[in-house]
Amino acid sequence: MTLRDDTDGDPTFLLVPRNDNVRDALVHQALGVTATNGLLMQTATRNADSSSNANPSTPMYGHAPISLLPNAFPAHEYVKARRLAPIWNELVARVAYDREWLLRTLESVLPHDDFTRRLVEIYQAIDGAGRDVQKIHLGVNRSDYMLHVEGAASTSSSPSIKQVEINTIASSFGCLSTEVTRLHRYLVQKILGCTRLYTPSWFFPYNDTMRGLAHGLAMAHNEYMRQESCLSRPSTSSQHRRHPCVLMIVQPGERNINDQKLLEVALWEGFGVPLHRATLLEVAGEGHLDLQGRQNLLLKSPLVSEAEEKAGQGEEVEVTVAYFRAAYDPSDYPSEEEWKGRELIEMSAAIKCPCISYHLAGTKKVQEALSRPGELERFLKKPADVAAIRDCLMGLHGLEPGLAGAEEAVKAARASPEDFVLKPQREGGGHNLYGAELVEALVRLAPEERAAYILMEKIRPPPFDSHFVRDGQVLHGAAAFELGVYGVFLGDGECQRVLLNESVGHLLRTKLATSQEGGVAAGFAVLSSPLLVLSQEGGKWARRRQFAELQKYSMSGPAWRRKSSIWRRAVALSVFGGVVLGFAAVAKAVDKRRSR
């Protein structure tokens, strides 16, 4: 195989295999690496080989759906998306804190959306109870963008990012996206022989999402432990030993298990913090609040036998951080028990990720309400932040009766449904309505019922060529992609005490251009990574600036802080050295004059 090390210009050979032999070699290597690095998902079916002695409940895994090679993405739009993450974090925190605005915004949705209504009821019920025992919240937000081109293909402008939605609960794929970046780097370097991943025209960023998320959870865990250490705890009657843990709330039968397990391992290996998994049903059945303490959430430890329990050698898991990877869809609450579990968590002193007000702040209705004139200004102090957020918003329309512009939007959507998406207040993919279904819904729904939906103008991504790998098979076709940027925030609602607010990494999902939806777990998209194409405008210095900025976003927060602090120290040391030398020279000159 010929090895190439293209340092100038054209990255095309990194995006599409040049012949079938190269493609087959890439697939072969990719499948090996996905298995080695845990870039896997649990398959729905088990191995039904009856002659095998294997435990029938042993889970089976297959590779996660991936794109064979990275996809080209404009570097300046990538940087823009990364810069927006801390602003979105702050916005979510402030919106979630503004109780009166949040309830007013969601009011029109509640009569026709039982799920959102139940969430709001819990939000109101915890007022003064759970809300006050824990003021610090952890946000793991992922803002999703697509590239949008304005106008017809011949006259179109250069593409710019537009937000699809912001996920404030169970933002997944952070760890698998780190692994897919590692896979693509390996394939590009080893199989395509391109050892230099930075050139004057393109840049292949690292993706440290896994560490960034683990770091956020660890900081929240440490903050809880610090709060506990400041309290004088009354002696309790319980003899159980407490084992402080992060609790991951999961769906029963979760298929995207490796994404979660990689995070669990990163949290333990990187920060020494243990993570315990439980469903909402298990929390309801095994959890209770320590009312002698500050409503600490305690669960029965799975490692303790009944005999040990009876002998008073019990152990309980004390939940420091309740990290939701479930509880965002009505199907996560098949009975009242699951609602009880959710309420128990919200009432507790655990730091929630997210707390219920963050969950509500991530609804589509809130996204629409924020796009109205004057609303962003209510929450963000800096005009530059407001302008940056507004610039990435697509046209959004609320549909409640009497709202200015609602009837016009409905008329426009019925006349040209191909330009709109109708969205209910749901997460997880597969709920949106397009084309004929959208028109049918707008005709069928009474004006008050429409208020439970929002209308969004369609984003028009430029199509490009991509190779997908699903179940070991390669599929080739025109594709579109969605860039997700993860932001981690730890602080209070007023943003007076902010312990962490950073952009930690990215997720690129690629889907067939003909597919309307975009979820990986829902089967619409595959995981990919961006190969950033640098703008050649502005000369050498502009390119250097782009490079410096990209380096910053290529490293984890702590690594970047280390690097910049080394620079700061080096500069400080040279200044100090210069001053000392200057003094020495002056002293010498004075000495000389005196001795004369």
Residue 385 binding ligand ADP, by CB under 6 A: no
Residue 245 binding ligand ADP, by CB under 6 A: no
Question: Is 519 an annotated catalytic residue?
Answer: no
Among 82, 112, 215, 458, binds ligand ADP (CB under 6 A): 458
Residues 6+ apart with CB under 8 A from 197: 185, 188, 189, 203, 204
Please, what's the largest Cα pairwise distance for the chain? 104
Residue 393 binding ligand ADP, by CB under 6 A: no
Residue 248 binding ligand ADP, by CB under 6 A: no
**Which helix (DSSP H) or strand (DSSP E) does residue 589 occupy?**
helix 557-595
Question: Is 190 an annotated catalytic residue?
Answer: no
What is the C-alpha separation between 27 and 32, in angstroms, rounded? 9
- The whole-angstrom distance between residue 355's C-alpha and the CA centroid of its chain comes to 16
The answer to whether the beta carbons of residues 397 and 406 sit under 8 Å apart is yes
Among 188, 456, 479, 531, binds ligand ADP (CB under 6 A): 456
Beta strands (DSSP E) in 516-564 are: 525-528, 530-533
Residue 466 binding ligand ADP, by CB under 6 A: no
What is the C-alpha separation between 291 and 296, in angstroms, rounded? 7
Among 363, 427, 532, 550, binds ligand ADP (CB under 6 A): 427
Nearest residue (CB) to ligand ADP, 369 versus 421: 421
> 3-class DSSP state for residue 31?
helix
Question: Is 340 an annotated catalytic residue?
Answer: no
Residues 6+ apart with CB under 8 A from 289: 295, 296, 297, 298, 344, 347, 348
Among 80, 276, 431, 552, binds ligand ADP (CB under 6 A): 431
Residues 6+ apart with CB under 8 A from 274: 243, 245, 246, 267, 268
Marked catalytic residue, from 167, 177, 357, 529: 167
Among 517, 535, 547, 549, binds ligand ADP (CB under 6 A): 517
Residue 83 binding ligand ADP, by CB under 6 A: no
Among 165, 208, 264, 338, binds ligand ADP (CB under 6 A): 165
How near is the Cβ of 144 to ligand ADP at its closest, in Å?
6
Question: Is 523 an annotated catalytic residue?
Answer: no
Burial category of 67 from C-beta neighbours within 10 Å (exposed 0-12, middle 13-18, buried 19 and up): buried
H helices present in 129-230, as ranges: 130-133, 174-186, 209-229
- Choose one: 205-213, 281-289, 309-317, 422-430; the region binding ligand ADP (CB under 6 A): 422-430
Among 90, 113, 482, 502, binds ligand ADP (CB under 6 A): 482
Selection from 504, 506, 465, 467 nearest residue 483 by Cα: 506
How near is the Cβ of 515 to ligand ADP at its closest, in Å?
7
Nearest residue (CB) to ligand ADP, 163 versus 546: 163
Would you please indicate which residues are annotated as catalytic (active-site) residues?
Answer: 142, 165, 167, 172, 364, 423, 427-428, 509
Binding site for ligand ADP (CB under 6 A): 144, 164-165, 394, 421, 423, 426-429, 431-432, 456, 458-459, 482, 517-519
